[in-house]
Amino acid sequence: EIVLTQSPGTLSLSPGERATLSCRASQSVSSSYLAWYQQKPGQAPRLLIYGASSRATGIPDRFSGSGSGTDFTLTISRLEPEDFAVYYCQQYGSSQNTFGQGTKLEIK
């Protein structure tokens, strides 16, 4: 089973700032089958990024993903008030899908 470790656990930033979230895998993620999800309180997760760097339908271009192998990054270029939420990475390149433990992005 591939273990995903996200860092930091909590990120405190202000609107307008740039956010950089990390996801590290215990072994190489096949063909960059790595996704990022956003979850707000009381809501189901929403797909943001798939294939490590492709934005899902309707996702603003301030969200971008990068990385390959074992190291992946989600970047939010300029934080909007609605971006403060919990973010999860997920690998779907093996028969056992796994999620990271999440990064909480909070308003500073």
Q: Which is nearer to other proteins, 48 or 76 (CB)?
A: 48
Rule CB under 8 A: choose which of 31, 66, 68, 77 binds other proteins. Answer: 31
Amino acid letter, residue 43: Q
CB 97 within 8 A of CB 35: no
**22 contributes a contact to other proteins by CB under 8 A:** no
Rule CB under 8 A: choose which of 56, 70, 71, 73 binds other proteins. Answer: 56
Rule CB under 8 A: choose which of 11, 21, 35, 76 binds other proteins. Answer: 35
CA 24, 29, 34, 40 torsion: positive or negative?
A: negative
Stretch of 14-22, 32-40, 64-72, 75-83 lying at the interface with other proteins (CB under 8 A): 32-40
Query: What is the helix (H) or strand (E) element at residue 34, kind and residue range?
Result: strand 34-39
Q: What is the DSSP letter of 58?
A: T
| Residues facing 78 on adjacent strands | none
**64 contributes a contact to other proteins by CB under 8 A:** no
